[in-house]
């Protein structure tokens, strides 16, 4: 009896275990399949990238197929064709050359989200590009050297292969920084073709011509190692040498006290981030259109420092938005709040009512309240002081849409108004079939958004042969002003085909003027997707408006803030969010 009771208990436990396992097994769906086409796996940099992709896919329960193109375009094209045929849910690609664009667009047109890593392709169909920004790297590296020299010194610059994009971009970033520093003199600036042996002889020659130097600034580690060899042979150990790439022997040279600094690009995390973006895109969620990976300065102090311990426990997120009386920023705040709640953290949201003074005291309050991360949508550049105060207190700062000019900001996420202007103008040119007389209504003169939309759109109109801008006026982003300006323009030049407005407010004003004049033959476009602009699109009056997914911007900013606190993954420093064209057709869907 006792025995059978034990047996009964045993049976009950077994049944319970089966019961627990049963639903889990049946709920296991077809796992997500990712495809990675990497340019080459013989280069440690790109091997590291692929390892990051594989590790993250495993961690998140996705399958991944990795194909290496051995730096051959033909192989990459057939690799990607194979991945498409294998039915991948998303394609991650590190392109060998721009020529891969065709097969990438083939994948995109088949409805497969495409994430390009480090080496992209020139296509507007790519979902997201994650990579470094060599202009930024040049700029930051130059500033680091100037600071290290205490602002004065005679320096030698070793450039990479002339005409190579990475070298030219690093030059564009670094040269102005050196020129702006008063105590810095560039005594020689030569190319050493990214090559160690070339750098050795170039450096020897420079030492003959101008031995009196304080530092050598190299566009990569190979050249830095060559320059070090020349300096060592000349018995010079008083010269600061910097490189870029964090190659294994460069790290060795740093440990030995020979190389002063090199820059590490967290390419492993780039691969991991690519997987996270791909999984979101498969779900149909918005992912940043472009993300720039951060860089790390490696010196003797931190070359062997252990990775920061992962942070666990509750996280308090502080959010300071410029104003909540504007629906656009209201949605931004809502996105941060919802994502924080979804991740199980607490968020405090403060609105500055568009006043700098209030924002400064808001942020001070958040710091005092002990927030772990600060998300801020700045009222003005003037908020930089209090933002740096937070950063210096060890709080990662993520700026949203309106940033501040500070190098202490961890990450910025926002729109790119130049890009918006370009895309909107291309849309209109396309819609007009390449010919037409158009009116342009600009925003507030001098406002950054208006000037940038102008920089993006004007060249598109000028390049289109059949397009004539018959009037280009400001209507101050204002509906009532746009009404009057449009009335006046209709007096001056009634023969128009389209009105291109830098925002929806002006588009609505222009529509009112056109309607009053009985003109329903004019194509009007706006930007912002305001509620009544959407109404006008639905009613067939407004041809197109652009939606900026500001709610998702808030969600990503929150994730970045949390990642920065937990040291989970390298947080991308600059993020551009995509835009959506809203027309009667897209609203009907």
Partner 1 sequence: MLPARLRTETRDWRRIGGSVAPIVVLILICLLLSLLTPRFLTSENLINVVRQSSLNAIVAAGMTLVILTGGIDLSVGSLLAVSSVFSAGTLAAGSSPLAAILAGIGIGLAFGVANGLIITVGDVAPFIVTLGTLTIARGIALVYTNGAPIMAMDNDFRFLGRGGIGFLPVPIVILIVVYLAVYFVLNRTTFGSYVYAIGGNQEAARLSGVRVRLIKAATYAISGLLAGLTGVILTGRLGSAQPNLGSGDELDAIAAVVLGGTSLAGGRGGIVGTLVGALIIGILSNGLNLLNVNAYYQPVAKGVVILIAILVDRRVRASSAA
CB-CB contact of 172 with 202 (8 Å): no
- Residue count of the chain, please give it: 589
CB-CB contact of 221 with 215 (8 Å): no
Least Cβ distance, residue 433 to partner 1 (angstroms): 25
How far, in Å, CA of 415 to CA of 420, rounded?
A: 8
Name which of 89 and 476 has its Cβ closer to partner 1. Answer: 476
Q: Is 540 in the site for partner 1 (CB under 8 A)?
A: no
Q: Is 492 in the site for partner 1 (CB under 8 A)?
A: yes
Footprint of partner 1 on 430-469 (CB under 8 A): 442, 445
Q: Is 61 in the site for partner 1 (CB under 8 A)?
A: no
Q: Is 505 in the site for partner 1 (CB under 8 A)?
A: yes
SS3 call for 38: strand
Least Cβ distance, residue 506 to partner 1 (angstroms): 12
Tokens (6 digits) for 475: 């209507």
How far, in Å, CA of 368 to CA of 349, rounded?
A: 14
Least Cβ distance, residue 481 to partner 1 (angstroms): 9
Name which of 113 and 509 has its Cβ closer to partner 1. Answer: 509
CB-CB contact of 374 with 394 (8 Å): no
Tokens (6 digits) for 506: 């002006």
Least Cβ distance, residue 359 to partner 1 (angstroms): 18
Q: Is 210 in the site for partner 1 (CB under 8 A)?
A: no
Name which of 260 and 503 has its Cβ closer to partner 1. Answer: 503
Strands lying side by side in the sheet with 152-159: 183-191, 152-159, 215-218, 240-242
Tokens (6 digits) for 534: 């959407």
Q: Is 474 in the site for partner 1 (CB under 8 A)?
A: yes
Footprint of partner 1 on 305-344 (CB under 8 A): 324-327, 330
Q: Is 269 in the site for partner 1 (CB under 8 A)?
A: no
Strands 215-218 and 262-264: unpaired
Tokens (6 digits) for 10: 């045993």
Alpha helical stretches, state H, 235-289: 248-255, 267-282
Written as one string, the DSSP assignment of 222-243 is HHHHHHHHHHHHTT--S-EEE-
- Residue among 589, 577, 23, 54 nearest 285 (CA): 577
Q: Is 402 in the site for partner 1 (CB under 8 A)?
A: no
CB-CB contact of 546 with 528 (8 Å): yes
Tell me which stretch binds partner 1 (CB under 8 A): 56-64, 228-236, 472-480, 546-554. Answer: 472-480
Q: Is 491 in the site for partner 1 (CB under 8 A)?
A: yes
Q: Is 520 in the site for partner 1 (CB under 8 A)?
A: no
Q: Is 529 in the site for partner 1 (CB under 8 A)?
A: no
Q: Is 499 in the site for partner 1 (CB under 8 A)?
A: no
Name which of 261 and 471 has its Cβ closer to partner 1. Answer: 471
Least Cβ distance, residue 508 to partner 1 (angstroms): 7
Residue among 347, 489, 499, 569 that touches partner 1 (CB under 8 A): 489
Strands 523-525 and 498-501: parallel
Name which of 241 and 486 has its Cβ closer to partner 1. Answer: 486
CB-CB contact of 158 with 227 (8 Å): yes
Tell me which stretch binds partner 1 (CB under 8 A): 8-16, 48-56, 380-388, 524-532. Answer: 524-532
Name which of 179 and 515 has its Cβ closer to partner 1. Answer: 515
How far, in Å, CA of 81 to CA of 94, rounded?
A: 15
Tell me which stretch binds partner 1 (CB under 8 A): 2-10, 175-183, 303-311, 486-494. Answer: 486-494
Q: Is 510 in the site for partner 1 (CB under 8 A)?
A: no
Residue among 471, 529, 573, 579 that touches partner 1 (CB under 8 A): 471
Name which of 270 and 489 has its Cβ closer to partner 1. Answer: 489
Residue among 185, 232, 346, 535 that touches partner 1 (CB under 8 A): 535
Tokens (6 digits) for 294: 């951060």
The dihedral region occupied by 446, where left means phi > 0, alpha psi between -120 and 50, and beta the remainder, is left
Tokens (6 digits) for 452: 């940038």
Q: Is 531 in the site for partner 1 (CB under 8 A)?
A: yes
Q: Is 509 in the site for partner 1 (CB under 8 A)?
A: yes
Name which of 119 and 454 has its Cβ closer to partner 1. Answer: 454
The 138-177 site mask, x for binding partner 1 (CB under 8 A), equals ----------------------------------------
- The CA–CA distances, whole Å, from 168 to 25, 120, 477, 581 equal 55, 17, 38, 34
Written as one string, the DSSP assignment of 401-430 is SS--S-TT-SEEEE--HHHHHHHHHHHHHH
- The set of residues, in sequence order, having a beta carbon less than 8 Å from that of 365 and lying 6+ positions away, is 350
Name which of 53 and 530 has its Cβ closer to partner 1. Answer: 530
Q: Is 282 in the site for partner 1 (CB under 8 A)?
A: no
Residue among 488, 520, 538, 586 that touches partner 1 (CB under 8 A): 488
- Residue among 577, 306, 271, 279 nearest 419 (CA): 577
Least Cβ distance, residue 77 to partner 1 (angstroms): 48
Q: Is 37 in the site for partner 1 (CB under 8 A)?
A: no
How far, in Å, CA of 140 to CA of 133, rounded?
A: 11
How far, in Å, CA of 270 to CA of 291, rounded?
A: 10
Size of interface with partner 1, in residues (CB under 8 A): 33
Where do contacts with partner 1 occur on this chain (CB under 8 A)? 324-327, 330, 442, 445, 471-474, 478-480, 483-485, 487-489, 491-493, 505, 508-509, 512, 515-516, 530-532, 535
């Amino acid at each position: 009896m006792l025995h059978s009771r034990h047996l009964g208990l045993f049976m009950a436990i077994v049944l319970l275990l089966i019961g627990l396992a049963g639903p889990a097994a049946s709920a296991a769906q077809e796992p997500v399949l990712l495809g990675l086409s990497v340019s080459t796996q013989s280069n440690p940099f790109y091997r590291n990238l692929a390892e990051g992709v594989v590790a993250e896919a495993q961690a998140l329960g996705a399958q991944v197929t990795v194909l290496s193109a051995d730096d051959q375009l033909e192989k990459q094209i057939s690799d990607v064709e194979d991945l498409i045929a294998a039915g991948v849910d998303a394609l991650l690609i590190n392109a060998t050359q721009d020529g891969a664009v065709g097969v990438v667009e083939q994948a995109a047109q088949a409805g497969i989200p495409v994430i390009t890593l480090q080496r992209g392709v020139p296509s507007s169909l790519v979902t997201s590009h994650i990579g470094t920004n060599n202009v930024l790297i040049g700029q930051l590296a130059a500033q680091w050297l100037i600071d290290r020299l205490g602002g004065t010194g005679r320096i030698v610059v070793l450039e990479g292969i002339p005409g190579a994009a990475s070298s030219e971009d690093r030059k564009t970033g670094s040269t102005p920084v050196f020129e702006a520093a008063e105590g810095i003199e560039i005594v020689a600036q030569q190319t050493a073709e990214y090559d160690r042996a070339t750098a050795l002889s170039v450096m020897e020659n420079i030492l003959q011509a101008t031995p009196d130097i304080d530092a050598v600034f190299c566009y990569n580690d190979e050249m830095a190692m060559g320059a070090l060899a020349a300096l060592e042979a000349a018995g010079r150990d008083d010269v600061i040498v910097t490189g870029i790439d964090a190659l294994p022997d460069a790290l060795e040279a740093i440990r030995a006290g020979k190389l002063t600094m090199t820059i590490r690009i967290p390419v492993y995390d780039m691969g991991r981030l690519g997987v996270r973006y791909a999984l979101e895109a498969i779900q149909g969620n918005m992912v940043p259109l472009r993300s720039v990976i951060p860089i790390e300065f490696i010196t003797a102090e931190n070359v062997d420092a252990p990775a920061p311990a992962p942070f666990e426990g509750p996280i308090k997120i502080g959010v300071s938005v410029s104003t909540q009386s504007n629906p656009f920023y209201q949605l931004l705040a809502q996105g941060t709040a919802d994502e924080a709640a979804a991740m199980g953290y607490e968020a405090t949201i403060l609105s500055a009512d568009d006043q700098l003074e209030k924002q400064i005291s808001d942020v001070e309050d958040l710091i005092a309240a002990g927030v772990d991360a600060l998300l801020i949508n700045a009222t003005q550049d003037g908020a930089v002081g209090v933002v740096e105060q937070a950063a210096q207190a060890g709080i990662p700062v993520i700026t949203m849409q309106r940033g501040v000019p500070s190098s202490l900001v961890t990450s910025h996420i926002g729109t790119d108004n130049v890009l918006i202007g370009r895309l909107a103008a291309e849309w209109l040119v396309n819609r007009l079939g390449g010919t037409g007389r158009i009116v342009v209504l600009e925003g507030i003169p001098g406002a950054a958004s208006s000037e940038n939309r102008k920089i993006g759109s004007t060249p598109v109109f000028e390049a289109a042969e059949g397009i004539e801008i018959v009037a280009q006026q400001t209507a101050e982003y204002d509906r009532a002003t746009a009404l009057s300006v449009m009335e006046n323009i209709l007096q001056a030049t009634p023969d128009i085909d389209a009105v291109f407005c830098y925002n929806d407010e002006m588009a609505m004003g222009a529509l009112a003027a056109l309607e009053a004049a009985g003109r329903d033959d004019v194509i009007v476009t706006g930007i912002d997707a305001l509620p009544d602009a959407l109404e006008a699109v639905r009613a067939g009056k407004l041809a197109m408006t652009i939606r900026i997914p500001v709610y998702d911007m808030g969600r990503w900013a929150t994730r970045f803030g949390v990642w920065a606190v937990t040291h989970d993954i390298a947080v991308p420093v600059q993020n551009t969010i995509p835009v959506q064209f809203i027309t009667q057709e897209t609203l009907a869907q």
